[in-house]
Every structure is written in C-alpha cells, then in structure tokens.
Amino acid sequence: MDPGTGLIRLALFGSPVRHSLSPRIHAAFARQGGLDVVYEAVETLPGTLAEALARFAAAGGLGCNITLPLKREAVQLAATCSERVRLAEAANTLVHEGDERWRAENTDGTGCVGDLQADPRFRLAGARIVMLGAGGAAAGVLAALLEASPLEVVILNRTAGKAERLARRHGDLGRVSGRGLDDAAECGGFDLVINATSAGHGGGLPALDDGLFGTDGACYDLNYGVAAHPLRQWCLERRIHYRDGLGMLVGQAAESFRIWTGFEPDSQAVTRELRAGPGGG
C-alpha cells in the first residue's frame, strides 16, 4: 500500500489477459471493503515476467495474479512458496515482500472447494471423485480437494503420464491415482466428476462416458462462459446436476485479495453480480 495515499496497487500478468474478468472482480471487492485499489491486467509473454515484476515493484505493486502461460515461471521467480504451490508446481498469486522478493501462493484450490461447498448438491467428504485433466488448474485444486477428505480421487488425463505424476506428488494427502482418459470406461460410479480440461475452449468435450457418473453423481466444470456450454448441455440432457467454474474464479480471486489486503470479500455476492451481467452464463 502507498503510505502517502493509501492506494493499493495490484495486477494480473499473463497472455492473453485482455478479456479477463479479474479487474472487474477485484474492483467489486475493493468497493465492498471501501479500499482504494488499482488492478491492472498486463499482457506479459513467457520469459518476460521477471522484468514485468521488477517494473511493478518499482511502481509500488503489493501483489499480483498470474495466469496462463506464466504459472510455472512465477514459481521459479519466487523467493518462497506455499506447500500448495510446491505440490502444484504452479502459482496464481504473488505477494511482494520487498526488494526483489516475491512469495508464491496458489488460491485455485480454496476457490474451487469453497464453491463446491456452497452448493448442497455437492458432497466431498467420503465421496468418490474423478477429475478430468492434469494441467495447471487440476494441479492447483488437487491438494484442497484431498484435504476435504474424499474416499478417493482418480485423475484421468489425455496424457496418462501427467495424471500419474500429479497423483504421485499428492500421495501423502490421501487416496489418489492417475490414469489415461482412455481408461474412463473401466472406472465409474463417481459421486463427483470435475472437468479440469480446456476442451470446452475449442467447443468440445473431453471423452465422457455416462457410466462415469454414479446414481446422483454431479458435475463441476472449472470452465465458465462460452467454454462451459458443451458440458453444461451434455449434463442437462442427462439430468445431471451441473455447476460451472465462475464461482471458483471469484473464490480464488477473493482468497488472493484477502492475502494481499487482509479484507475478506463476499465472493458469493460478486458471483451473483457477474451472472446477472452480460455473458454471465
């Protein structure tokens, strides 16, 4: 925070960030808390994050979010990192600790589990969960999911080796295994199916089998907006309870905002506001 003006400088680094909802979300949090915040989305290419952070720190930057494709680069540049960042090998939040020092955090798991727990149709404790995808987002949410005490988490990914490695890294937190997406037909009857693939951005679906869902099985999609349409439709046709990832997006942002400012925003109110707005889905 600028000691003279009280201004809090925050930012988002990644590419592309032009259409990001984050500036709108953080502006809403700032209004809730009566805080004077500038949150800027800065187009940043791979290999240039160190320079961008140095400029931001010199301008008084307090903290920033990191998005694709820089979540790994952020871990490498950070002086210290949380256990969740270590396990995920990805950071979505940096906190400026003075000079050239940044602390890395990952708030995706808190955002995802918080949103799941806000909907009584989802049960995590004792549940059998399958997560489709093993990219940065899947890695970011896995520790928080396992800490919610499910019976087991199975990760299915198009590239089997990535799912296996991700599961191995988290083996101390609970019962978790990784396999290829081709094995989907061999395992099934899950209480919760989490889609952490980016297939929806191309208008598609990850290969899905009806048998993946147990009786009353429900679906949580990390995607939101247009990218969420294919899976939402697929679930609607089968009367499967479905929720998109807009609440997670706001929840992870709220946790970052709390880390930077100490103020705990009402993320449900901001999610409702976004859903009511244009393109809110």
Question: Annotated catalytic, 162?
Answer: no
Binding of ligand NDP by 197 (CB under 6 A): yes
**Least distance (Å) from ligand NDP to the CB of residue 69?**
8
> Which one from 71, 169, 232, 243 is the annotated catalytic residue?
71
What is the size of the binding site for ligand NDP (CB under 6 A)? 30
Binding of ligand NDP by 228 (CB under 6 A): no
Of 258, 244, 257, nearest to 115 (Cα)? 244
- DSSP assignment string, 207-244: ---GGGEEEEEEEEES--GGGGHHHHHHHHHTT--EE-
What phi, psi does 22 have (nearest 5°)? -60, -45
Residue from 85, 166, 222, 231 in contact with ligand NDP (CB under 6 A): 222
C-alpha to C-alpha distance for 177 and 205, rounded to whole angstroms: 22
What phi, psi does 69 have (nearest 5°)? -100, 35
What phi, psi does 159 have (nearest 5°)? -95, 100
Q: Which residue's CB is nearer to ligand NDP, number 57 or number 184?
A: 184
Of 93, 152, 148, 95, nearest to 122 (Cα)? 148
**Least distance (Å) from ligand NDP to the CB of residue 187?**
16
Residue from 44, 65, 107, 223 in contact with ligand NDP (CB under 6 A): 223
Binding of ligand NDP by 274 (CB under 6 A): no
Of 218, 212, 220, 207, nearest to 246 (Cα)? 220
**Least distance (Å) from ligand NDP to the CB of residue 198?**
4
**Least distance (Å) from ligand NDP to the CB of residue 108?**
6
Residues 239-268 touching ligand NDP, rule: CB under 6 A, are 245, 248-249, 252
Q: Which residue's CB is nearer to ligand NDP, number 57 or number 108?
A: 108
- Site map 168..187 versus ligand NDP, x via CB under 6 A: -------------x------
C-alpha to C-alpha distance for 162 and 272, rounded to whole angstroms: 35
Q: In what order do the strands lie in the sheet with 80-81?
A: 37-43, 8-14, 63-66, 93-96, 102-105, 80-81
C-alpha to C-alpha distance for 123 and 113, rounded to whole angstroms: 10
- Residues interacting with ligand NDP, by CB under 6 A? 68, 108, 111, 133-138, 157-159, 162, 181, 196-201, 204, 206, 222-224, 227, 245, 248-249, 252
Active site residues: 71
